[in-house]
């Protein structure tokens, strides 16, 4: 059973189908991408999965359970975590406190744990320390978001999603505004999530990162999935080249050509 599956998931704003019968599957332990131009409906898809916008029709299953029946905080508690395109960090809190806020998943019975397992409180601190470590942010623990570069703030946003120790993390354009080197470093850190049993669903409008780090990619255009496949399949997919005609299409072909060339060299 896939960890996450949608069947004909549809979100309508006024007359517009921002998500139009979306079918995706994310296997546990995989790194799946969703790319599409601005306005394609990527953020809407994450919003629908996490309960920030209502769906009009369709099904979303998380571990086989009906996600759409659950209120947003229940989805988070079930192990679905997300980042926000607009970051939404708390500027008056330290980096560490920004993560602590997200790491707490209080339940009505949580006081019982304090009786039977008093170490649980430190468990939350451990989760935060771990998330900071995975994203190489430990040195910025006591800094405030305003002390950090844009790239570092993006990482804090990702670390915050990680601090809840989700089963699946949905990342909304974590590389936006990063330069090529920063984006490459981020890609490596994101791949390392798999070593911690965290499945990754990465959204971006830029092909570069997605083609480099994902095992499987869905391509969204005008609310519809127009292609799905491995990075090698996506690179040469006619519908994708069509949707990305222009600058990114050239980049796409160049990346493909470079790698094919690299492979030839390696085969010699």
Applying CB under 6 A, the residues found at the interface with ligand ADP are 13, 16, 18, 36, 38-44
Residues 107 to 126: which contact Mg ion by CB under 5 A? none
Q: What angle do CA 13, 204, 237 make, to 5 degrees?
A: 95
Tokens at 256, concatenated: 């493909």
Least distance to Mg ion, CB of residue 42, Å: 5
Q: Which does 41 bind (CB under 5 to 8 A by kind): ligand ADP, Mg ion, none?
A: ligand ADP
Q: Which is nearer to ligand ADP, 113 or 222 (CB)?
A: 222
Tokens at 104, concatenated: 């707490």
Among 19, 20, 43, 165, binds Mg ion (CB under 5 A): 43
The backbone torsions φ and ψ at residue 240, rounded to the nearest 5 degrees and listed phi first, read -75, -45
Q: Establish if 19 lies at the interface with Mg ion (CB under 5 A).
A: no
Q: Which is nearer to Mg ion, 35 or 95 (CB)?
A: 35
Q: Which does 18 bind (CB under 5 to 8 A by kind): Mg ion, ligand ADP, none?
A: ligand ADP
Task: Give the integer Cα–Cα distance in Å for 249 and 35.
Answer: 13
Q: Which is nearer to ligand ADP, 48 or 103 (CB)?
A: 48
Non-local (6+) Cβ contacts of 168 within 8 A are 3, 4, 26, 62, 79, 80, 81, 198, 199, 200, 201
Q: Which does 235 bind (CB under 5 to 8 A by kind): Mg ion, ligand ADP, none?
A: none
Query: 26 with 201: CB under 8 angstroms?
Result: yes
């Amino acid at each position: 059973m896939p960890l996450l599956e949608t069947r004909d998931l549809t979100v309508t704003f006024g007359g517009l189908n921002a998500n139009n019968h979306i079918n995706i599957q994310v296997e546990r332990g995989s790194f799946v991408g969703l790319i599409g131009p601005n306005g394609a409906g990527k953020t809407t898809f994450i919003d629908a999965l996490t309960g920030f916008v209502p769906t009009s029709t369709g099904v979303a299953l998380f571990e086989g359970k009906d996600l759409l029946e659950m209120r947003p905080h229940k989805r988070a508690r079930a192990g679905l975590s997300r980042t926000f395109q607009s970051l939404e960090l708390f500027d008056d809190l330290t980096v560490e406190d920004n993560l602590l806020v997200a790491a707490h998943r209080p339940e009505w019975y949580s006081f019982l744990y304090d009786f039977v397992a008093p170490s649980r409180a430190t468990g939350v601190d451990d989760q935060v320390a771990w998330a900071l470590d995975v994203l190489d942010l430990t040195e910025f623990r006591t800094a405030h978001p305003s002390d950090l570069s844009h790239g570092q703030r993006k990482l804090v946003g990702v670390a915050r999603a990680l601090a809840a120790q989700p089963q699946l993390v949905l990342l909304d354009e974590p590389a936006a505004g990063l330069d090529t080197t920063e984006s490459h470093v981020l890609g490596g850190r994101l791949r390392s999530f798999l070593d911690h049993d965290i499945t990754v669903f990465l959204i971006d409008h830029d092909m570069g990162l997605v083609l480099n780090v994902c095992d499987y990619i869905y391509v969204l255009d005008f609310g519809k999935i127009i292609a799905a496949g491995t990075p090698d399949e996506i690179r040469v997919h006619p519908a994708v080249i069509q949707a990305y005609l222009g600058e990114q299409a050239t980049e796409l072909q160049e990346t493909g050509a470079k790698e094919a060339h690299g492979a030839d060299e390696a085969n010699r």
